Amino acid sequence: MEKYILVTGGAGYIGSHTVVSLVENGYTPIILDDFRNANRVVVDGLTKILGKTPEIIESDVCDDEALRTIFQKYKFKGVIHFAAHKAVGESVLEPLKYYQNNLQGLVNVLSKMIAFNVQNFVFSSSCTVYGEPKGIKEMTEESPKNLPNSPYGWTKWIGEQIIEDTFRSNPQLKMMNLRYFNPVGAHKSLLIGEFPLGKPNNLLPYITQTAIGKLEKLTVFGNDYPTTDGTCIRDYIHVVDLAAAHVKAISFLESQTGCLETINVGTGKGSSVLEIIQAFEKETGQKLNWAFGTRREGDVTEIFANATKAKNVLGWQANLTIKDAVIDAWNWEKKLAEQNEK
């Protein structure tokens, strides 16, 4: 019998990599995506990697009636809920867009799960719920949640609260918040990867677009932070490893009775912005045009995962390195450039 998993936002960056990982592990993903923030090239990429086109339903997760029809059609084993807006800066300018889409979408999905008795649920949360860590920078799942500094961050923070409250009144559910650190890289096949819309906000796409000449120069936001080299520290996790964590999460939930778990998905190691630039230059042989600039408002100084729980509970750990990530991200950027030339 097919093990159908609804993957909302399954044509997006992390979603598409997770679709591949699900198929490789015997699941049948059903993608729900409205392609507002996803690129249709992903469908061709997935088709080539998987040898067949996955089922794709083009619809908005906020369309309650459409969602009901989908739940009627498939007997889902579980849901992985990626569909959400994710640009921190944009969320400050358009908060209602974020609250509407990210929270309404979540509520719609959860209410359908209850109505149709679907029990396994994985939520895309973020290390942003830790806010600016006070004291120790290595976050365990028990580290205190601090107030987020953007509406995007709030949607993850409130999303976790919605999930907790839903679980309390529906203890038969099996739910997991995966708190992602910083996803980077692309699939080795170079058939799927990230398609930043407009000018990228995130570090690695900014680096690769600068190196290829799409952008003139990378500004390193701040060199006066209290870290080893003065630049911010993050835990960069390869998207292929991150995708695998979702499959482990679904398979763990299948083995449980009612539960709610929260798990960090990171490498357990922090890297500074300068270390990422150096790794990029060393591994790709590209000279990057960059300069120090002022701090970016809202940036956290230093944060990285304690990844012990992921290992103990899910049997998951990161296998790929920063070296893999910068090489894959660069090859992906070159591939995009080649495609644009055609």
Under rule CB under 6 A, residue 88 binds ligand UD1: yes
3-class secondary-structure state, position 270? coil
Under rule CB under 6 A, residue 126 binds ligand UD1: yes
Phi, psi of 83, rounded to the nearest 5 degrees: -55, 110
Counting residues that bind ligand UD1 (by CB under 6 A) gives 22
Stretch that binds ligand UD1, among 7-15, 62-70, 105-113, 218-226 (CB under 6 A): 218-226
Quote the tokens at residue 302: 């230093």
Distance (Å) of CA 262 to CA 6, 141, 164, 249, 293: 20, 7, 10, 10, 36
Stretch that binds ligand UD1, among 6-14, 54-62, 279-287, 294-302 (CB under 6 A): 294-302
Q: Which is nearer to ligand UD1, 119 or 208 (CB)?
A: 208
Q: Which is nearer to ligand UD1, 208 or 284 (CB)?
A: 208
Under rule CB under 6 A, residue 109 binds ligand UD1: no
DSSP 3-state helix, strand, coil percentages of the chain (rounded to 5)?
45, 20, 40
Under rule CB under 6 A, residue 153 binds ligand UD1: yes
Q: Are strands 174-180 and 138-139 parallel, antiparallel or unpaired?
A: unpaired
Under rule CB under 6 A, residue 128 binds ligand UD1: yes
Token pair 């591939």 is found at 335
Q: Using CB under 6 A, which of 218, 249, 253, 329 touches ligand UD1?
A: 218
Under rule CB under 6 A, residue 273 binds ligand UD1: yes
Distance (Å) of CA 28 to CA 24, 152, 193, 217, 233: 9, 30, 21, 43, 37
The 226-265 site mask, x for binding ligand UD1 (CB under 6 A), equals ------x-x-------------------------------
What residues are labeled active site? 152
CB 150 within 8 A of CB 298: yes
In the complex, which residues of this chain contact ligand UD1 (CB under 6 A)?
86, 88, 126-128, 150, 153, 182, 201-203, 206, 218-221, 232, 234, 273, 296, 299-300
